[in-house]
């Protein structure tokens, strides 16, 4: 796992962007932007309505993107081990101990006046429609770290709900 100082740092702007990836981008734009900003030139594997980016030197997938029916970027999932660090204000959302991040995120939401907007998925992952994010857990060797999933505004309703939300079923099956 890369040291925190070796990870790229990307800001998250709810419903707007995850680093250089803006919600609504086409698949080709996402591939171009990801290739231009990830440390190593990734390969992109397109599977139906989603694209996985793999680094050429390993089986790692630093991020997975999902697209709406109209073709625009609607969801970005960041790998806990190999993905860039995503920040929301002072919070680091990737590769963190889930219980500590939940406390920090809950405090952040409370300061924003949105403490009541926090929900938990059927898998125990904290999420909020207010920011369009679910803080999934990912097994990394013998430990569990945070794997955030971010969505566009049109996918935010019940983002935390694995059965009725719009995050693709494939994502809920990863690392659960």
| Tokens of residue 127, six digits | 């999420």
Other C-beta atoms closer than 10 Å to the C-beta of 53 total: 23
Res. 56: pLDDT tops 50: no
pLDDT value for 46? 57
User: What domain range includes position 157?
Assistant: 10-173
Res. 4: pLDDT tops 80: no
Instruction: Determine, yes or no, domain membership for 133.
Output: yes
In total, how many domains does the chain have? 1
Instruction: Determine, yes or no, domain membership for 141.
Output: yes
Lowest pLDDT segment from 12-21, 28-37, 65-74, 92-101: 28-37
Q: What is 108-150 written as a DSSP string? A: HHHHTT-GGGEEE-TTS-EEETTTTEEEEEEEETTEEEEEEEE
Instruction: Determine, yes or no, domain membership for 3.
Output: no
């Amino acid at each position: 796992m890369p040291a925190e100082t070796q990870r790229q740092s990307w800001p998250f702007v709810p419903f707007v962007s995850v680093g250089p990836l803006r919600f609504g981008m086409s698949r080709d734009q996402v591939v171009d932007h990801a290739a231009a900003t990830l440390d190593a030139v990734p390969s992109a594997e397109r599977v139906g309505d989603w694209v996985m980016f793999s680094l050429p030197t390993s089986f790692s997938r630093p991020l997975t993107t999902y697209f709406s029916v109209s073709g625009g970027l609607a969801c970005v999932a960041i790998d806990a081990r190999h993905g860039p660090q995503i920040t929301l204000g002072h919070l680091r959302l990737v590769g963190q101990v889930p219980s500590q991040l939940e406390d920090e995120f809950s405090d952040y939401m409370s300061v924003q006046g949105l403490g009541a907007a926090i929900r938990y998925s059927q898998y125990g992952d904290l999420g909020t429609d207010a920011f369009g994010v679910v803080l999934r857990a990912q097994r990394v060797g013998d430990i569990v770290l945070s794997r955030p999933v971010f969505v566009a505004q049109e996918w935010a309703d019940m983002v935390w709900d694995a059965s009725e939300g719009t995050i693709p079923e494939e994502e809920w099956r990863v690392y659960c």
